[in-house]
Structure 1
Amino acid sequence: MNDPIDLHETTGTQIARLLGRALNSFDLPDATVERLDSALAHDSSLHSSHHTARLHRSLYRHTYLLADGSPLTLWELVHTTGAPGAEGAEQRELYEEETEARLAASRLPAGFPGFAENRPGSFDDGLSPDLDTGLELLASLMAPAPEPLPPVYVLDDSADHARRVLRRAENRDRPGEQTARRLRSAFAHHITQVFGRQYRVGGKDAGFTLYEHAFLLLDGTETSLWEIEHTATPDGRHMCEVYEREGAARQAMELRARVR
């Protein structure tokens, strides 16, 4: 899968095309989008690529020369959904950091370790595998997390990172304005993937991932947001939920699995 790169395309047109096709372009910081308005030239290249029978992943690096002489780089993740019969359903996502793009790639269906697809004819009773897998999923969701390593905080516009995490939360009981105000004083953060698993439940793939976003605040205190990404939705789309407590996040995952 190759991105058609037009060598004669103007930088402004290329940026508009890049932002227009990305599913998560709204997630980019406003300051980054504003800086792109001053881009004078650009260079796009394929950074890495991985292909399997059902899933294709490519990572492109787009570098821009701005009017003030500084460079700006965006990382574009291009992938197919990995769903049966959807090999041509190409999706694109944009990230400021290569590590963020690779983390997003690891969340794709084939990126979950230990996932084994139940193939038709593998079991005599069509209900048994779904029931057994569902019970295993529920047990895994509520299992205590391994003892985490001490977080290594990164100084990288952490207040804006917290704002983006809260903005993409779709659950009604997400943290409110009081939490948002407190996180405006965040100056460093650390992201940890606490849980990630995908199973075939009810004849469909359902993936669950739990992240801890730990923040260091100006008053010296630490606080965390717990983000769930899952596909336990009627149409199989990705959904993000955010909670202030790990226990609440795990209970929400259990509920989604039961509803499923």
Structure 2
Amino acid sequence: MGGMRKNGVVRTGLAAMVCGAVAVTLSACGGPEGGSGGGAKGHPGARGGVARTSAPAADPTRIPDVGDRLQRRIPSDSRQVLAVYGEGEDSAESTAVLYTKSGTDWEKTRSWAAHNGRKGWTADHHEGDKRSPVGVFTLSDAGGVLDDPGARLPYTQSETFQAPHEWGKSYWHDFDYVIAIDYNRLRGNPPDDPTRPWGDDKGGGIWLHMDHGSGTSACVSLSKSAMEYLLRTLDPQQHPVVVMGDKADLKA
């Protein structure tokens, strides 16, 4: 959940909020066009059938299912990309996939079910629209209520991240671990730093955080084990970024 702030002390104070996500399965399949006569495609099999033609192999130098528009925004020095594939423009279900670059090729490392904004995605995010912003954003700062689990990113531990207990009990642990998504924020500050360079109307406080089982206000949420893995794996020396959006926007 997100969209609220509270007073606290964490290098700068003011605990920000929240986010969400969605489950998505990525697959590709193809088949033959059968039939007899000159219109058939493929090569006859041993019994006179038509052999299946395979789909073109994916380009290993690109993040799968991400079009040129966003692919070009991935920094050339980035070697860790968390791709969040939203199920649909108005869906809160998504899948997060971590890719690691080996040489010139991207290799799938891990994947998890996730949630995004409860109303889906937008390329023009505004405060309170309950949609997650589509785009490519750096990942540079982390923190949470719990002690540092061995994060490589700078980690700020503070009780001020605690979700307010007037929220439903299922939300109380949302911010036990958070990783700031660098949307409308100043990098190099704790995730709850309130500074919004583009103005308050463009929203802010958009994080990767722990999942409560449904959509968020704008963030991306994952399981505790996924957050622990990301905190221990995302390395500032590898210039990690998140590429996020619904599948159609990602491919555009």
- Shorter-chain TM-score bucket reads under 0.3
Would you tell me which structure has more helix in proportion to its own residues?
1
* Larger RCO (CA within 8 A; separation ≥ 6): 2
Q: TM-score by structure 1 length?
A: 0.24
Q: TM-score by structure 2 length?
A: 0.25
Would you tell me which structure has more strand in proportion to its own residues?
1
